[in-house]
């Protein structure tokens, strides 16, 4: 039994780590797309594309269980939870994009990455008992994010406040996914939240952005990468991974996104890697390893939900 539990935890750790790799590399695709279209249209198309990618998978899985009927409670949880997680995704992405306009990219990366610390704080509110090792791993990851960002201090601007609110949204999303992963089909959750986020993004895009078909064509490769992999694959891996891991450990693993963004920028865009960046990556990897060898949060079985 202990070996089986260890293998399940290892599989969940691998799923979340792969999701972090994809999200880190997707920064390259997003930078390329922003040269042609606005952020809301980009998010709208890629999230709906991700949902379309997963829809056939969901249908195939249901056909493999002929005669099986999904409980009404599960369908209700899927609908409500999918809309909720999609709305939180939209809020986080919007706050990040608006906040970064008045804040340097390095500081923005650090403030957004504070969701790694906010996840266990929200866990305490939900009645979780967070072990010391999880706190240490979270702050190691936050320290790594600080070094990766290149932040050297400075006054708090309005954009900083928006980014901090965005970090809170990402932390809430991690907890929502942890709640949903226990109550509904992971693929169904991924489809539902992607549709909700995509539609909300398109509504705002039509209201505030102007674009052209030629611009969308120019951004098509970046949209395809972000839609198929970042949304279709990575968000599904997040939901699957969080079926076995508590939100605090999941938050640390997903924070590795920043490290892979640095590596992707170096490998694809030719961005330099400094000793400071290497130390930041090492701190984040240390946080991941420490988090991965720990058992689940003690209070998981006593969760109030």
Asked whether residue 206 carries a pLDDT value surpassing 70, the answer given is yes
Q: Report which of residues 25 and 201 the model is more confident about.
A: 201
Asked whether residue 207 carries a pLDDT value surpassing 90, the answer given is yes
Query: How far is C-alpha 59 from the chain's CA centre?
Result: 25
DSSP tag of 299: G
Q: Quick check: helix, strand or coil at residue 152?
A: coil
Q: What band does 110 get if pLDDT is binned at 50, 70 and 90? A: low
The mean predicted confidence, pLDDT, of the chain is 75
Question: Looking at residue 292, what is its pLDDT?
Answer: 56
Q: Exposure of 296 by Cβ count < 10 A (0-12 exposed, 13-18 middle, 19+ buried)?
A: middle
Question: Looking at residue 202, what is its pLDDT?
Answer: 95
CA distance 143 to 224: 33
Asked whether residue 303 carries a pLDDT value surpassing 70, the answer given is no
Question: Looking at residue 295, what is its pLDDT?
Answer: 43
Asked whether residue 151 carries a pLDDT value surpassing 90, the answer given is no
Least confident of 56-70, 128-142, 222-236: 56-70
Q: Where are the alpha helices (DSSP H) in the chain?
A: 2-33, 39-63, 72-99, 105-113, 115-125, 132-149, 158-181, 186-208, 213-225, 236-241, 247-254, 257-268, 275-292
Q: Exposure of 133 by Cβ count < 10 A (0-12 exposed, 13-18 middle, 19+ buried)?
A: middle
């Amino acid at each position: 039994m202990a070996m089986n539990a260890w293998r399940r935890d290892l599989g969940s750790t691998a799923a979340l780590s792969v999701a972090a790799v994809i999200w880190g590399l997707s920064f390259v695709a997003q930078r390329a797309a922003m040269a042609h279209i606005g952020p809301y249209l980009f998010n709208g198309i890629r999230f709906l594309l991700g949902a379309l990618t997963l829809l056939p998978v969901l249908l195939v899985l249901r056909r493999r269980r002929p005669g099986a009927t999904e409980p009404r409670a599960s369908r209700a949880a899927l609908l409500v939870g999918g809309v909720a997680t999609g709305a939180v995704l939209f809020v986080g992405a919007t706050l990040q994009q608006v906040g970064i306009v008045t804040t340097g990219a390095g500081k923005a990366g650090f403030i957004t990455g504070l969701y790694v610390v906010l996840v266990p704080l929200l866990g305490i509110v939900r009645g979780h008992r967070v072990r010391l090792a999880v706190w240490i791993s979270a702050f190691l990851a936050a320290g790594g994010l600080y070094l990766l960002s290149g932040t050297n201090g400075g006054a708090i601007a309005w954009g900083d406040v928006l980014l901090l609110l965005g970090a809170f949204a990402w932390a809430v999303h991690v907890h929502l996914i942890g709640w949903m992963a226990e109550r509904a089909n992971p693929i169904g959750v991924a489809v539902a939240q992607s549709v909700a986020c995509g539609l909300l993004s398109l509504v705002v895009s039509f209201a505030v952005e102007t674009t052209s078909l030629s611009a969308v064509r120019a951004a098509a490769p970046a949209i395809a990468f972000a839609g198929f992999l970042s949304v279709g694959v990575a968000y599904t891996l997040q939901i699957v991974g969080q079926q076995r891991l508590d939100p605090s450990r999941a938050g640390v693993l997903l924070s590795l996104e920043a490290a892979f963004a640095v590596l992707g920028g170096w490998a694809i865009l030719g961005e330099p890697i400094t000793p400071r960046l290497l130390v930041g990556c090492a701190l984040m990897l240390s946080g991941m390893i420490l988090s991965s060898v720990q058992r689940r949060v003690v209070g998981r079985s006593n969760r109030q939900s």
